[in-house]
Chain A
Amino acid sequence: MTAPLIEARDIAVRFGGLVAVAGVSLTIQPGDICCIVGPNGAGKSTFFNVLTGTVKPTSGEIRLGGEDFTGRPIHAFARNGVARKFQVPSVFPSLSVADNLRVAQRRGADEMALADVLDLLGLTQDAERPAGILAHGQKQWLEIGMALATEPKVLLLDEPTAGMGPEETQRTVRLIREIGSRSAVAVIEHDMEFVRALGVRTLVLHQGRVIAEGSFEVVASDERVRDVYLGRG
């Protein structure tokens, strides 16, 4: 039995008097796809920041591949295969799409892998166009592709469908499923339609705590989740 890629145990984060995350645990195994949902201010992004090493937890422990990484710097997480896509799409606008991916391939150029990622993103025809002129959704995909080009073990995506229309969202769902066959993926979302379409293990955070966990159907039928999402009415 190999150690899980990421194992977060009883993570708590306090900013002064504010408790952002209050004892959340999550284990990501190779091949996992999971989703973290919750209303604004539920502590999703803070928890994510702990998983990528951006924020040090006030208490709790984070292990990568069985090794304790609590309190280690961001680049240590990055070098151990944790890649992250930020909420705001950030690509290099003056480089071509292909060159964006080449820059992301830090371990050395690999044109085969490059063509493969382009194909996966559906950006093969745009490979030589500057990334700055891509549509918003395409930039989001390109950034996911850049994270993928670093050959991560775990890909963490923060609201990958932010600002996307329904069609683009559907494509993103397919893209994430496809990526799931290469590396473990964890996604933050608050769009329930997206989470329904993805249909994977789902954690619901509310006020810094996990209030439900399980398959989407289980989570969606949970009373407390309904309360939080739909209001009591």
Chain B
Amino acid sequence: MTETATAVPLRVGAGASRTSTRSIISFMVIAALFAYPLVLSPYQMDVARDALIFALLALSLDFLWGKAGILSFGQAAYFGIGAYAVAIVGPMIPNDNAALAGMVAGIATAVLVAAIVGYFLIYGGVRGAYLTIVTLALTLIARNIATSWASVTGGEAGLIGAPPPGIAIGDWSIVASDSISLYLLVAIILAVALLAVWTVCNGRYGRVLIAIQDDEAKARALGYNTSGHLLLVFVLSAGLAALAGGLYASVAGYVAPDLVGLLLSTQAIVHVALGGRGSLIGPVVATVVVIRLQQEVSSYSYALWPLMLGAFFIAMVFLFPNGLLPLFTRLADSIFGRSDGGRT
């Protein structure tokens, strides 16, 4: 026999323990998210709730950017579609399903827009920076519609009277209106979305997505319909962003053109980049931390925050391009004494 005789058993141990460290950290963070607001004032709870909604937006981007390698400035467009749908469609529905109907309409519209735009781009072979630029245009168009089509969108003033989240079945109905229940609703939706995306990306499907990111031509040569896979993620991510937008409109009670802006897309990109692209939980944590920090800094000076964010962004690109999460996991690994933690 040849060298094959000296083979040792598969080292599944190393990979498995790293995965379980990840899932334990993820679980702890999710649990902390739930517990955090219960010690806060209603105002702080509302701030935390909004932060979680933007975390959901960041999650939608991380799914697309981190897992499929498509950097999109279009998330704000889908967020806006979701938000405006709740504010426009919602009031047409007489019962407590109003917000739900608006969200369904918003998600469907966003998915449709993403499917049409994505089909022509992705199947047309558009990738990388070119694809990113088109998504940028998408957000600019959405913003223009929001400000210009005043008879429907309320123009610069936006719309008030978006219905609060609720469910009505027959005579029975329930509406979330106080800070605690609104917070819990948003936290549960975020947790479910996070676990869903995480589960999908940790299975066989996630491997295929990484393979496509690494070498799309090779993946195609192995028989994968790579354009189909990328389009699916593009569309699902748009649906997730629209869900975040719908939630925002519903809990805030109003929509304004700011929700469709390029600033919102850029913010989501910063959150994902900070948290660590592709880690899913990282961008969620980063969003909450950054918004908390922003609040803190802004109470001293409004001018200080953009400066700090810019400086931080530059530092990140140079010092920790993989985001903050790898730093923490390496720290945790060294504390718990895992020798293979920093190997990759």
B225 to chain A, nearest CB (A): 9
On whether A109 and B218 interact (CB within 8 A), knowing A94-B210, A128-B11, the answer reads no
Q: Is B125 an interface residue (CB 8 A)?
A: no
B232 to chain A, nearest CB (A): 17
On whether A122 and B7 interact (CB within 8 A), knowing A95-B211, A103-B211, the answer reads yes
The residue from B9, B14, B214, B219 contacting A94, defined by CB atoms under 8 A apart: B214
- B residues apposed to A, CB below 8 Å: 2-4, 7-12, 14-15, 204, 207-208, 210-211, 213-215, 217-219, 221-224, 344
Are the CB atoms of B4 and A120 closer together than 8 Å? Answer: yes
On chain A, the residues within 8 Å of B344 by CB distance are: 130
Chain A binding surface, main DSSP class: helix
- A100–B221 Cα gap in the complex (Å)? 13
Chain B residue nearest to A124 (CB atoms) is: B7
- A200–B251 Cα gap in the complex (Å)? 74
On whether A92 and B214 interact (CB within 8 A), knowing A78-B223, A109-B204, A128-B12, the answer reads yes
On chain A, the residues within 8 Å of B8 by CB distance are: 124-125
A185 to chain B, nearest CB (A): 17
Are the CB atoms of A122 and B207 closer together than 8 Å? Answer: no
The residue from A75, A96, A104, A115 contacting B15, defined by CB atoms under 8 A apart: A96
Are the CB atoms of A75 and B223 closer together than 8 Å? Answer: yes
A-B contact pairs, 27 of them (CB 8 A): A74-B221, A75-B223, A78-B221, A92-B211, A92-B214, A92-B218, A93-B214, A93-B215, A94-B214, A95-B210, A95-B214, A106-B222, A118-B7, A120-B4, A122-B3, A122-B4, A124-B8, A124-B9, A127-B10, A127-B11, A130-B344, A146-B222, A150-B222, A171-B2, A171-B3, A174-B2, A178-B2
- A23–B177 Cα gap in the complex (Å)? 80
- A95–B3 Cα gap in the complex (Å)? 24
Are the CB atoms of A102 and B207 closer together than 8 Å? Answer: yes
Given contacts A118-B10, A171-B2, 11 further A-B contacts (CB under 8 A): A93-B215, A95-B207, A99-B210, A103-B208, A106-B224, A120-B4, A122-B3, A122-B4, A124-B9, A128-B15, A146-B222
- A78–B223 Cα gap in the complex (Å)? 7
Are the CB atoms of A90 and B222 closer together than 8 Å? Answer: no
On chain A, the residues within 8 Å of B7 by CB distance are: 118-119, 122, 124-125
On chain A, the residues within 8 Å of B218 by CB distance are: 90-92
On chain A, the residues within 8 Å of B15 by CB distance are: 96, 128
- A115–B4 Cα gap in the complex (Å)? 11
On chain A, the residues within 8 Å of B4 by CB distance are: 119-120, 122
Q: Is A79 an interface residue (CB 8 A)?
A: yes
On chain B, the residues within 8 Å of A78 by CB distance are: 221, 223
Are the CB atoms of A115 and B10 closer together than 8 Å? Answer: yes
